[in-house]
Amino acid sequence: MTMRKVRLKALKTNKFALLAGDNRLISRKDRIKAAIGAKWTLKEKSCTDREAILQLRIERACLKAQIKIITVSERGKSKSKASVEIATLLKRIDSINRKLESHYHHA
């Protein structure tokens, strides 16, 4: 089992995680926290497809860098909530990958 699957499994089984799969917890999530956690992106009306794809790629690269920073900073600590944070970032990366794949299939 890869570390990614382990983190996603830990996220699903954690009762106190915001995205643990319980609809009540998901609906209670604050919009400000969602914006800070990059759960949504702003869309500009004048944005072309190429610019949108570029923005998604940049956001994906930033999320990957955040994951690396979290893993390095939390290394060696006995109790840490880094796995939950990393799992939420991985979910966002997966959604970006799905958006990019849909751009390539429809283009």
Cβ proximity of 56 and 63 under 8 Å: no
Report helix, strand and coil shares of the chain as percent, to nearest 5: 65, 0, 35
Eight-state DSSP code of residue 102: H
Per-residue confidence (pLDDT) for residue 13, from 0 to 100: 67
pTM: 0.51
Looking at the structure of the chain, the number of domains it has is: 1
pLDDT band for 94, please (50, 70, 90 cuts).
very high
pLDDT band for 102, please (50, 70, 90 cuts).
confident
Domain that holds residue 92: 3-106
